[in-house]
Amino acid sequence: MTDKDFSVTPWEVSGVVDYARLIRDFGTQPLTEELGRKFSALAGEKHLAIERGVYYSHRDLDLVLKDYEAGKKFFLYTGRGPSGPMHIGHIIQFYLTSWLQKRFGVNTYVQLTDDEKFLEEKSPTLEETNRWAKENALDIAAAGFDPDRTFIFQDTEYIGNIYRLAVKVARKVNFSVVRAVFGFTGETNIGFAFYPAVQVVPSLFEDSRCLIPCAIDQDPFWRVQRDIAESLGYRKAAALHSKFLPPLTGVAGKMSASMPETAIYLSDTPEQVRQKIWKNAFSGGRATIEEHRRLGGDPDVDVPYLWLQMFFEGDDAKLKKLHDDYVSGKLLSGEMKEVLIEKVTRFLKGHQERRERARDSLDSFTRSGRLASAMWAKTYGLDTKEINRG
Ligand code: TYM
């Protein structure tokens, strides 16, 4: 959607996002406390990002849980547009998805859209997006997926297996719909006009309900999916939407690969993390220490605090103390930054080690694992019964 103050599309986020308004504009449902409680109860464990309201909106999550309670399986689908190195905001989606996979014991499909990122204006070459897909796959595998229940695929390689279903989807979607939903114009290249069909297809990989964890920017695709899925004999996709981890530079917009100062990449070294947070992280502190001590800081716009709240400080009591000490002026913005630097550095150390180890298991996700090999043996749009029994 686009309006005067902010804009959220799958390819651009600008301004300060009004998340409640997006729920209204996109026609999604708020993730209520009651549904969150039911979710955690069925998962058998709480998840910080759900508890803290990072995942705040959904479509049909209630139906997914109802299916699950009735002994019916669902499956997970998520993805990444490989235009460059992944940042911390992206990886949140994959850690949450792997947690869901573990808690519910379900199949997971991860689409790497090297086609989409090539088609995007001002994008890298196709060779670069092909290469970034392979690099990003390692970060995704590091998030802890089950190699036998997860299939990670790259569109330019797997398209032969999905094309039949993509054309079935494409015939159901006319240009005025994608123009309205995605804001396409006469200048949009024809690859982009077809691309939404490709991103819809994995949501139809199994007969059961598909649950898609993602940030809210991807929802327009699911709107198209939900318009046409039943007419093709499939289910409407369910989605679980997160807010964006704000850019280091302040709450407006989202972290961008083309503006390295806005983001912490998964490959950043401890020195880079320290430097970026000290130099670029927008602070809600006062201009001088004296003023800060007297008047206190504003955690609501302080990016280090917001990152701690959304992802990095799991202990509620410690988070509350950081909040209260900041408001009272006891904690300085440099001290808040140090807390974040320590957490981010520790997280990245663990992630980078897992990423190295994932080199050995990557082939099971992309080719040889139980789900991956079954998927390579399958052409979607023919008959999905066999795989659904697997
Ligand atoms: P991409 O590569 O733009 O983003 C990958 C995932 O990260 C989410 N995301 C964020 N989450 C939190 N904070 C942020 N600052 C942030 N920025 C991005 C995105 O919503 C996404 O979940 N077209 C997709 C690739 C794709 C896909 C999918 C994504 C294909 N199929 C199914 C989700 C679900 C893309 O370019 O994502």
Ligand 1, atom 7, lies closest to the CA of: 90
Contact present, 355 and 139 (Cβ < 8 Å): yes
Homologous superfamily of 260-358: Tyrosyl-Transfer RNA Synthetase (1.10.240.10)
Q: Is 90 in the pocket of ligand 1 (CB under 6 A)?
A: yes
- Atom index in ligand 1 nearest the CA of residue 245 equals 13
Tell me the domain boundaries of the chain. 6-245, 260-358
Q: Is 212 in the pocket of ligand 1 (CB under 6 A)?
A: yes
Whole-structure pTM value: 0.95
Chain segment 370-380, per-residue pLDDT in tens = 999 999 998 76
Separation between Cα atoms, residue 382 and residue 154, nearest integer Å = 20
Residue 28 has pLDDT above 50, yes or no: yes
Backbone angles phi and psi of 173, in degrees to 5: -115, 120
Separation between Cα atoms, residue 5 and residue 36, nearest integer Å = 30
How confident is the model at residue 255, as a pLDDT? 82
Q: Which residues contact 252 (CB under 8 A, 6 or more apart)?
A: 6, 14, 15, 16
Question: What DSSP string describes 52-75?
Answer: TTSEEEEESHHHHHHHHHTT--EE
Separation between Cα atoms, residue 121 and residue 8, nearest integer Å = 17
Averaged pLDDT for residues 196-212: 97
Averaged pLDDT for residues 353-367: 97
Q: Is 82 in the pocket of ligand 1 (CB under 6 A)?
A: no
Averaged pLDDT for residues 342-362: 97
Architecture of the domain whose range is 6-245: 3-Layer(aba) Sandwich (3.40)
Ligand 1, atom 16, lies closest to the CA of: 89
Q: Which residues contact 346 (CB under 8 A, 6 or more apart)?
A: none
Cα(91) to centroid of ligand 1, in Å? 9
Chain segment 51-63, per-residue pLDDT in tens = 999 999 999 999 9
How confident is the model at residue 262, as a pLDDT? 87
Can you tell me which residue has the tokens 């290469």?
131
Cα(80) to centroid of ligand 1, in Å? 5
Ligand 1, atom 4, lies closest to the CA of: 80
Q: CA of 248: how far to CAs of 5, 45, 121, 243, 282, in Å? A: 20, 30, 25, 15, 6
pLDDT band at 5 (very low <50, low <70, confident <90, very high): confident
Question: What DSSP string describes 95-111?
Answer: HHHHHHHHHHT--EEEE
Mean pLDDT lowest among 117-121, 170-174, 312-316, 330-334: 117-121
Chain segment 97-143, per-residue pLDDT in tens = 999 999 999 999 999 999 999 999 776 899 999 999 999 999 999 99
Q: Is 154 in the pocket of ligand 1 (CB under 6 A)?
A: no
- Atom index in ligand 1 nearest the CA of residue 82 equals 2
